């Protein structure tokens, strides 16, 4: 697995594949949420984009878990962040991962105890219940707030990668992930 693993000088192809595929899927997910929020209820684009939201959520959740496991497996050889900015970057990445787990988790939990159930690409994961289990619904109100907070952190991640690393520091962080 040596040629697939991360190294101190660069991220391996598996980490890069996780990063860029999830970046594309998160872009689609945020677009579907923005359309759902901004467009009228009868709008065909809004309805089309929203119809993919749950399947994207589940796919991203599974990818986050796999990426987290892969990252822990490769924790030692990964490129390191140093200094105060490095600690800030580590904290920012931890916040991203925490929200990438928490945002879908609250909706998955709500679906498990909800009246609509949950399907993933047409396969039933949790059947619909006649009556919702109240405690499973408690955190679902935070899903949107956490989701937009995640979107803001992702935007900050992009700004730091392009502005902080490419323009200001002129280091090779982007090439390690490309």
CATH number (domain holding residue 110): 1.20.950
pLDDT score for 1: 58
165 within a domain of the structure (yes/no): yes
1 within a domain of the structure (yes/no): no
* Model pLDDT for residues 50-93, shown as the tens digit of each residue: 999 999 999 999 999 999 999 999 888 777 777 887 788 889 99
Long-range residue pairs from 18-25, CB within 8 A, at least 24 positions apart, any chain = 18/63, 18/66, 18/67, 18/70, 19/67, 19/177, 20/177, 21/63, 22/60, 22/63, 22/64, 22/67, 25/56, 25/59, 25/60, 25/63
pTM metric for this prediction: 0.87
How many domains does the chain fold into? 1
Long-range residue pairs from 115-123, CB within 8 A, at least 24 positions apart, any chain = 118/54, 118/58, 119/54, 120/54, 120/55, 120/58, 121/55
2 within a domain of the structure (yes/no): no
**104: domain range?**
13-177
pLDDT score for 2: 62
4 within a domain of the structure (yes/no): no
- Average pLDDT, integer, range 111-122: 95
């Amino acid at each position: 697995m040596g040629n697939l693993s991360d190294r101190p000088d660069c991220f391996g192809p598996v980490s890069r594949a996780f990063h860029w595929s999830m970046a594309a899927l998160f872009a689609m997910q945020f677009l579907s949420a923005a359309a759902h929020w901004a467009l009228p209820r009868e709008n065909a684009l809004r309805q089309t984009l929203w119809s993919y939201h749950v399947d994207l959520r589940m796919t991203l959740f599974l990818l986050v878990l796999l990426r987290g496991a892969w990252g822990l497996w490769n924790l030692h050889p990964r490129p390191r962040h140093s200094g105060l900015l490095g600690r800030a970057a580590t904290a920012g990445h931890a916040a991203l991962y925490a929200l990438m787990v928490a945002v879908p988790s609250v909706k998955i939990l709500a679906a498990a105890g909800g009246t609509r159930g949950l399907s993933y690409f047409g396969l039933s994961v949790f059947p619909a219940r006649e009556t919702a289990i109240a405690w499973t619904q408690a955190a679902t109100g935070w899903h949107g707030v956490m989701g937009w907070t995640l979107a803001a952190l992702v935007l900050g991640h992009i700004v730091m990668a392009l502005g902080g690393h490419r323009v200001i520091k002129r280091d090779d962080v982007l090439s390690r992930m490309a």
